[in-house]
Amino acid sequence: GDLFAGCVVIPALGESQRLFRTLDSLAAKCPEQLAHFLAVVVVNHREDAAEEEKLDNAETLSRLRLWKSPLRLAFADAASKGLELSATAGGVGLARRIGMDLALARLQERAVMVCLDADTLVEPGYLQAISRHFASCSAGGAVIPFCHQQGASPLEERAITLYELFLRHYVLGLQKAGSPYAFHNVGSAMACTADAYLKMGGMNSRRAGEDFYFLQQLQRTAGIATLRGTTVHPAARSSHRVPFGTGKSISRILALGEESQTFYRADCFRILGLWLELVQKGAALSATELLLASEQIDPQLAAYLRQAGFEKVWQRLGDNSSGPTGLQSAFHGWFDALKTVRLVHHLSQELPRCRADQSLPELFSLCGLAPVQGELAQLQLLRVMQNQSHIN
């Protein structure tokens, strides 16, 4: 059969009410590209899924079999009896992996692979923007600008405002600190070339946080850039499906109130930035000298680095690296997105997390931004800034 210039992979679990809106959105908004892209829906649940999810997936499968659309559409059945994902290994990571691995065999050499979710809507020119980006960008990975859909009620809208502001303030802090991991981890807003996918070893099979680990590995192996020219719109809704992420956070804010969404202090990012700068300038220093200097920046930073085994690691990185550039690259492979978030979390024990109206003014000031009052206005500013900015 035909080989495609790209694929869009969509895991679907209990999404019969939303999936077809997403597919319609894809078909209607990208007519010129439809012949060149394969859409792959992976209808999935684990063996221990709730009966409600199993029935919903059966409905999705029967609709997919009859569905008429200009999309070049394939679907994988990981939901019918005997085909379900295992109770231990199943989850969104495995569902994405199944779809991406299946699509590989039908892709051209320089094809692109796009992750989307069954509750996410796209804009006109979505596929064109993705194709254009990879045609001119050397990085093998991309994050796509996102903006949550409106909540179904004023309370849900308030919850999604706070949660998205939390995501964006964290990335703003990482950008200010000079972290190479300063990008959003949103499962419906990521893409890569087929080459980069193979080079990094493919999608992981995690039940939650698969997007975080996928993008971390993609950055290490192929580099990530922020795509321009289109935005995806994930649903804003509560869910208890996975232990963290959008749905869980919205559920928590709705149940416990907005006080439950706390934000990091600007000083956490200031300390992170000083640490990254120290390593960049201190390539010739020993681990002991770097730890002494980190103690001067902040004792909690030094404590975290000792706990993470920095002394032995730095020695090993130095022995195995050719020159300062190789050492920097190896360091960021070790001090990755996970170690970064763990450091920020560790620092927040001494610098406790606080409300948005305390955190955001401090952070805006640190970043040299003019003060903006109110969470909604702050969110709108960060959406504009981050959806246009370029990250190397």
Where does CATH 3.90.550.10 sit in the chain?
A: 4-146+185-230
pLDDT for 252: 78
Q: What is the pTM of this model?
A: 0.93
CATH number among 3.90.550.10, 3.30.2270.10, 3.10.129.10, 3.30.1130.10, domain 4-146+185-230: 3.90.550.10
| pLDDT by residue, tens only, the chain of 392 residues | 789 999 999 999 999 999 999 999 999 887 888 999 999 999 999 999 999 999 999 999 999 999 998 999 999 999 999 999 999 999 999 999 999 999 999 999 889 999 999 999 999 999 999 999 999 999 999 999 999 999 888 888 988 999 999 999 999 999 999 999 999 999 999 999 999 999 999 999 998 899 999 999 999 999 999 999 999 999 975 554 544 566 677 777 778 777 778 999 999 999 999 999 999 999 999 999 999 999 999 999 999 999 999 999 999 999 998 888 899 999 999 999 999 999 999 999 999 999 999 999 999 999 999 999 999 999 999 999 998 744 33
Count Cβ neighbours within 10 Å for each residue of 257-288 and write b for 16 or more, e otherwise: ebeebbbbbbbbbbbbbbbbebbeeebebebe
Q: Do residues 293 and 282 touch, judged by C-beta distance below 8 A?
A: yes
Return phi, psi of residue 7, to 5°. -135, 155
